[in-house]
Structure 1
Amino acid sequence: MAKSLWATLALVLASLSPGAHGQLGDDRILAARDALRTGDHVTLDRLAYEREPHVLDSYVRYWRLSSILARPEAPPSDELTEFLLREPDSVLAERLRTDWLRRMARERDWTGFLQQYPDLREPDAEMRCLQRNARLESGDMAVLTEVHERWMELADNHNACEPVFRTLAFAGHIGSDELWWRARRQTDTRNPSSARATLSWLPVHEAPAIAEFDRAIKSPGQYLDRLPASFAASRAGRELALAALVRLAREDVAAAHARFARIEERLSADERAYASAVLGHHGALQRSPFAAAWFRAAGKVPLSSEQRAWRIRTTLRGEDWPGVQAAIESLPATEQALPEWTYWLGRAYAALGRPADATPLYQRIAAQPNFYGMLAAEELGQPFAPPSRNGTVTADDTARAEADAGLRRSLALYRLDMRTEAMREWNWALRGQDDGFLIAAARLALRHEIFDRAINTAERTDPKANFDLRFLAPYRQLVEPQVQQQGLDMAWVYGLMRQESRFIAPARSSAGAQGLMQVMPATGKWVANKIGLPNYNHGMLTDPDTNVLLGTSYMRLILEDLDNHPVLASAGYNAGPGRARKWRDERALEGAIYAETIPFDETRDYVKKVMANAVIYAAIFEARPQSLKARLGTIAPRLASDR
């Protein structure tokens, strides 16, 4: 389409938007949302039939239809179909179709389900499971073969998959060994009760009593201490003992090992190897000095991806470079290709006198502007340089973004403070778009000060470009004075703030952290007392000035408490300073190794991203190359008081 036509279309659409005529019709949209929340179906029906020229009119109709699907009355198939045809390939069509499919599954209308499912653009785990059930119920036995091939991969899948799994087991397609292995994996999770269903599919003569399994996982130490002398006579008895060992190892690996030592002679070689792998995994998480030995005792027993990763981290923390090499080289190809293991395999080769083998590995990831890409580039003598290349945006790109119906709906939703719906619309509108559109959309978000969408949209483009959008530095007038007063590094503060909130002032986490710096209420109160902030109350966390004051003050306090080391302080900001101290080693540790071996997945990812962010912000602020390795430095040994 010609540029002039795109520009004309954008102007026409803009003239129809609520922003061109104040907030015409917003009251109706908000009233409909409130009616949905309160279950006022009469008001919602009336508002749905009061059609007004509003960019969010389709939301009122969607809310009405969605509420009907949740009620016992028969779904209005004609109206649902009409809506899906009127709003093709929209996020609301996707959500309504998902609601309808869920209703069909509840009512076991598998024919209708299979007719609608192909038009679902991005089915989630539940929908994929329900589709398998629909196929099975409709006589398509090929689904059993497909699921069997992915049996272990689907161990943690949505419980909607259970009917297909149960059919597989009862039909004899899944053997007892596979069922026991699945139950083991499920037991070693935050929700061990998911193993109950798997155990119920075992042959009657093998299946343990569910009440016995519950006792084993609820009071594992007590269960193991009271094992009858004959427990090892049956596989069920041995597996329940292993389940108790798993649950105890998650709490106290030393206590689990002590119990294991008492019963290991009663277990088979494979069972002993499995128990050793569990001890190695949780020993690594709990910083046990015996973790590496336990992993070695596991031999070649099959490991989960999580266990394989922690076997590497255990050898890494001990700087056992032959062990690092062996553990990484034994990974499946897809895992071995991950940036972290590519980098550490290169480091192992270099440490073992094989630099020629290390260089190609560094080169493979050095172009990636992330934690391991930067470290790999430095091994090649290339500190991170300030990026200068930005993607070009044409008038046509700008017009396309401004005219896009999904982005316009998203902006209207943001204006009405309906952030969840707004984010869904925005992300849906970006699917399959080219870089020109994406950059224009990011700049559109920036103009509206929707900083998180600007950043996340720019991150979908060339990873070596558009750093002006990917690393925004808003609220400078609030942040800079506090940074100077607290004596902090501006790049580190912005690196942390970007990771915490993406600069969304009203951001609130599921745990209750609030604001630009995601300060927890208890932390805010503690810091306010420390700095003498008068009349503090939790409501002040929503004020950007107060939030930045408390957040930067907390950064300074934990930095001073943690050796003035930004890696420790970043870990402490996320997980608490006490944990950051305890995660140190008995000897000095390379900062990158400390970061990679943090036992909390969220904190490990957080620290790596904050430190990489800080390098990029420093490169931008100072306009000169920066070293990530220098920032990571060395972590001092753990003090006796921290043990």
Structure 2
Amino acid sequence: MNIKCVSVSLLFGSLIFFSGTVFSNTVDQQRQDFLLAEKMTNQDNEGDFVTLSSTLADYPLYPYLQYQWLKNNLSKTDNILAFLSTYKESRYADLLRSTWLNYLADNERWLEFIHYYQANDSTALECQFYWATYKVGDQQLALNAAKRLWAVGDTQPKECDPLLSALALSPALTPDLIWQRFELALKKDNKSLASYVQHLLNKPDQDLAEIWLQIHNKPTLIQDSLFLGGNERQGHIFAHGIDRMAKSDLDLAITIWDSRKHNLVIDSQTARQLELRLALALARARDNRAYDRLNQLVTVDAEAREWKVRAALLEQNWQHVGLALTGLSFEEQQAPQWQYWQARSLIETGNVLQGQSVYNQLSQDRSFYGFMAADAINKPYFLADKPVVMAGNALEKLAQTTDFKVVHELIALDRDLEAKRQWWFALKKLSKEQVMIAAKLAEQWQWDQVAIITLVKADYWDDLALRFPLRYLSQVQSNADKQDLDPAIIFGLIRQESMVDKDAKSAVGARGLMQIMPATGQQIARNLNEPWQAENSLFVPDVNIKYGTFYYKQLLNRFDGHFALAMAAYNAGPNRVVKWLPVEGSVPADIWIETIPYKETRKYVTSVLSYAIIYQQRIQRNALKITKMLFDVRPH
């Protein structure tokens, strides 16, 4: 039956009989009917499905239901085309199109595939499109595209195999292209792909590629002069070996590179990139050679410019800090982070009034660096709380649009993942002002994480109640009291770890509000003399907050009450933090934080500290001063 006919059938009566049952148009009944019809999408029962689904034509999830049925009935071309036309604005149109295009490719219906293909971010579909182009006769266009799809270090989807195989059998695949992908694969540590590409080379080049693979696996082999000669390809092998060795033995890698780089044919771009990576590795290792090495670079990027400042900070050489700051771009210099260090370096070099002036301006920024500046000149923290302003019925109007009615129904049916996918799809159609309203709608629906991310997409940062929700206040306060901690710090951790999403789960398996790994949860349960109640207990806010607060207090005790060290350990693990401690002498806490090797952990610590300051205002406390939490970091 044509889908348009199914939709129209509802116009002829509001009640339809199915298997002797009368279906009403109440929302509760529609939800039950939807779930029943959904079960039929995987059954060979078209007549009953069509009859039942026709009663749901005005139900928000009707397109979703039809999509589920059609993706199991891909031979029904007319129905699919009708759906793509009728529901072209829905999220399910693109999903159905992709599924149907795969079906057309599997059945070698190339002309139809080309006609209905629409470019998206799917590499698999792009490969199938160009294979279809190849099959219908435009081989040159297809092979040109294949060369672009070839030149990556990742394994492409299996749908690309026919196109790339055609390229491999054509004169268009030159030895340079083969070597290019071989090298890209090794840079991604994709040894299986590199081995496959190796066999496309001629015999002498295969032997050279084998040497390259051996050095990739055992970089110390570059010390053997038998492995290397005097052409550019061998220079690339040497540079690759140095790059690999630097990950395990940086000192040896630098020693070999400096002693032999002039005796090999190495193109300037490769040499400069390797010099950059070695200098950055020294900086991240907190090596005292880092500043000089970074200062000698011919080619620098934003990362190198920033790490030059950090290397100077590690030296606590304020003249070097000032010079390094002048090397930042104008845009980089305006960032609160570097404004803070500008003020610090000015004061440390005797320019007190100028430094205080920078601090004064920076203190108007609601951030870790703004709060540090405020403390430096004894000013109150600047919070600038400006809630989103809406017209009286703006929230209701948005909630009643088609896309958001779909979201609401998916939430009602406990389809959280599908609801969030629909939400992000719907946001793409909205103006900036409407996205701000959507953030308030998510807040009303108690979708804290979604509300926070949505407000970020609107580029609006001043609605503090929305960005820093107080859900689970009683649990946070009670557990903070038990562990003798300020509740604002626990809120800061929760906000950074999960954006207050009790169901959050990381790629590595951390769970819940404070993102606790199951093994850590088990250990905490033992420490608390409690029975372990399985991994999913970590999604229970009471359990998660209790365990997370206890764990943070353990870390705080381990690191002598230093809040920043404990926060860094919560993110990166205590063993890494121990390695980052100074070997001798104390380091000011702000310098230690700025020179944390991991960007993620550096951002984590500054975020939690600033969130704690904001949360203390939200819970109407005034006990925390950020600089009082940051005493000098001593050797372990």
> TM-score scaled to structure 2, two decimals?
0.76
**In structure 2, C-alpha distance between the alignment counterparts of 1:44 and 1:319, rounded to whole Å:** 75
1:506 corresponding residue in structure 2: 503
Residues 1:547 and 1:626: Cα distance change in structure 2 (over 3 Å): closer
Partner of 1:530: 527
Q: Return the alpha-carbon distance in structure 1 between the equivalents of residues 587 and 174 of structure 2.
A: 46
Alignment TM-score, normalising by the size of structure 1: 0.76
Residue 309 of structure 1 deviates from its aligned partner by 4.8
Cα contact 2:153–2:185 (8 A) shared by 1: yes
Q: Is the CA contact (8 Å cut-off) linking 1:517 and 1:548 kept in structure 2? A: yes
Q: Which residue of 1 aligns with 2:16?
A: none
SS of structure 2 residue aligned to 1:395: coil
Q: What is the total number of aligned residue pairs between the two structures?
A: 601
1:579 aligns with 2:576: yes
Shifted more, 421-430 versus 198-207: the winner is 198-207
Verify the 8 A CA contact 2:117 2:129 in the aligned structure 1: no
1:279 aligns to what?
Answer: 278
2:597 corresponds to which letter in structure 1?
Answer: P
In structure 2, the residue matched to 1:564 is: 561
Deviation at 1:352, TM superposition (A): 5.9
1:450–1:255 Cα change, 3 Å: same
Distance 1:330 1:196 in 2: 43
Report what 2:382 is aligned to: 385
Q: CA separation of 1:237/1:310 partners in 2, compared to 1, >3 Å: closer, same or farther?
A: same
In 2 relative to 1, CA 303–218 (structure 1 residues): closer, same or farther, beyond 3 Å?
Answer: farther
Is 1:553 the equivalent of 2:558? Answer: no
Q: Is the 8 A contact 1:187 1:247 kept in 2?
A: no
Output the CA distance in 2 between the equivalents of 1:361 and 1:66: 61
Q: Which residue of 2 aligns with 1:86?
A: 86
Q: 2:594 aligns with which of 593, 596, 617?
A: 596
Q: What SS does the aligned partner of 2:485 have?
A: coil
> Do the aligned partners of residues 284 and 388 (structure 1) sit closer, same or farther apart at CA in structure 2, a change above 3 Å counting?
closer
Structure 1 distance, partners of 2:86, 2:547, is: 49
Distance 1:29 1:623, change over 3 A: same
Show CA shifts across 1:448-484 (max 9, x none): 3222122223334463532111110101122211111
For residues 196 and 308 of structure 1, the distance between their equivalents in structure 2, rounded to whole angstroms, comes to 37
Alignment of 1:57 with 2:62, yes or no, is yes
Residues 439 and 277 of structure 1: CA distance in aligned 2, closer, same or farther (over 3 Å): closer
Report deviation, 1:366: 7.1
Q: Where in structure 2 are the equivalents of 1:9-158 lying within 5 Å?
A: 21=26, 23-26=28-31, 40=42, 42=44, 47=49, 50-51=52-53, 52-53=55-56, 54-66=59-71, 76-100=76-100, 116=116, 123-124=120-121, 126=123
> 1:606: which partner in 2?
604
After superposition, the Cα gap between the structure-2 partners of 1:363 and 1:84, relative to the gap in structure 1 and judged at 3 Å, is farther
Alpha-carbon distance between aligned partners in 2 of 1:19 and 1:264, rounded to the nearest angstrom:
80
> Residues 102 and 125 of structure 2 are in contact (CA less than 8 Å); yes or no, is this contact kept in structure 1?
no
**Matches of 2:183 and 2:312, distance apart in 1:** 25
Closer, same or farther in 2 for the Cα pair 1:343/1:247, shift >3 Å? Answer: same
Moved more, 419-428 or 448-457: 448-457
Distance 2:91 2:191 in 1: 35
Look up the equivalent residue of 1:576 and give its one-letter code: G
Moved more, 366-375 or 525-534: 366-375
Q: Deviation of residue 614 (structure 1)?
A: 1.4
Q: 1:419 to 1:529 in 2, by over 3 A?
A: same
- TM-superposition CA deviations, 1:307-355 (whole Å, max 9, x none): 5554454344334455556556556777677664565566556666778
Cα contact 1:495–1:614 (8 A) shared by 2: yes
Q: CA deviation at 1:497?
A: 0.4
- State the alpha-carbon separation in 1 of the partners of residues 245 and 285 from structure 2: 13
Distance in 2, matches of 1:337 and 1:197, equals 48
Aligned residue among 230, 245, 250 for 2:247:
250
Compared CA separation, residues 404 and 329, structure 1 to 2 (3 A): farther
> Does the CA contact (< 8 Å) of 2:488 and 2:615 recur in 1?
yes
Q: 1:224 aligns with which of 204, 216, 222?
A: 222
For the Cα contact (< 8 Å) 1:383–1:627, is it kept in 2? no
Tell me the percent identity. 24
* Offset from partner CA, 1:150-189 (integer Å, 9 cap, x none): x9xx97789579989x98xx9999997x998997776555
Task: Spell out, residue by residue over 1:533-585, the C-alpha distance to the aligned partner (whole angstroms, 9 max, x if none).
Answer: 24554343232212111111001111111131222111111121221222223
Other structure's SS at 1:233 match:
coil
Q: Root-mean-square deviation (CA), in Å?
A: 4.9
With over 3 angstroms needed to count, the CA separation of the structure-2 counterparts of 1:536 and 1:139, relative to structure 1, is closer
| SS in structure 2 of the partner of residue 251 of structure 1 | coil
CA distance, structure 2, for counterparts of residue 595 and residue 416 of structure 1? 45
Change (3 A) 1:296 1:475: same
* Cα pair 2:364 2:370 within 8 Å, conserved: yes
Contact 2:410 2:416 survives alignment (8 Å): yes
* Cα contact 1:187–1:193 (8 A) shared by 2: no
Rounded to whole Å, the distance in 1 between the matches of 2:184 and 2:623 is 46
The residue type equivalent to 2:608 in the other structure is V
Tell me the SS of whatever aligns to 1:578.
helix
Secondary structure at the counterpart of residue 622 of structure 1: coil
User: AA paired with 1:603?
Assistant: T
Return 184-193 or 448-457, whichever deviates more.
184-193
Query: CA distance change for structure 1 residues 49 and 66 in 2, over 3 Å: closer, same or farther?
Result: farther
Matched, 1:441 2:434: no
Deviation string for 1:586-618 (max 9, x for gaps)? 443343433333333432332232222112112
Distance 1:612 1:619 in 2: 11
Structure 2 portions without partners, runs of 5+:
1-22
1:397-434 C-alpha deviation (Å, 9 max, x unpaired): 02212202222222322333322211111122223534
Partner of 1:397: 394
Instruction: Look up the match of 1:414.
Output: 411
Whole-Å separation in 1 of the counterparts to 2:344 and 2:153: 34
Secondary structure at the residue paired with 2:619?
A: helix
Residue of structure 2 equivalent to 1:520: 517
Provide the secondary structure at the position in 2 that maps to 1:281: helix
Query: What CA deviation, in whole Å up to 9, does each residue of 1:296-315 have, x standing for no partner?
Result: 45x31x45665555445434
How far apart in 2 are the matches of 1:419 and 1:474?
19
Residue of structure 2 in register with 1:4 after alignment? none
SS, match of residue 226 in structure 2: coil
> Measured at CA, do residues 55 and 362 of structure 1 come closer, stay the same or move farther in structure 2, by a change above 3 Å?
farther
In 2: Cα distance, 1:27 partner to 1:600 partner: 50
Give, in angstroms, the shift of residue 287 of structure 1. 3.5
Name the CA distance, whole Å, in 1 between partners of 2:153 and 2:365: 31
Shift of 1:247: 1.6
Q: Residues 326 and 193 of structure 1: is their aligned pair in 2 closer, same or farther, counting only changes over 3 Å? A: farther
Task: Give the conservation status (yes or no) of the 8 Å contact 1:232–1:267.
Answer: yes
Greater shift, 45-54 or 528-537, is seen at: 45-54
Aligned residue number for residue 6 of structure 2:
none
1:264–1:443: structure 2 CA closer, same or farther, 3 Å change rule?
A: closer
CA drift of 1:216 comes to 1.9
Task: Work out the CA distance in 2 between the residues paired with 1:399 and 1:577.
Answer: 48
Q: 406-415 or 469-478: which moved more?
A: 406-415
Question: Which amino acid in the other structure matches residue 563 of structure 2?
Answer: P
Q: Distance in 2 between matches of 1:470 and 1:19?
A: 41
CA contact (8 A) 2:222 2:241 kept: yes
State the secondary structure of the residue aligned to 2:542: helix
Quote the Cα distance in structure 1 between the aligned partners of 2:99 and 2:109: 14
The 2-side partners of 1:310 and 1:289 are apart by 13
The superposition leaves residues 113-145 of structure 1 with CA deviations (integer Å, 9 ceiling, x where unpaired) of 665566x6xx43748975996899668979989
CA distance in 2, matches of 1:102, 1:333: 49
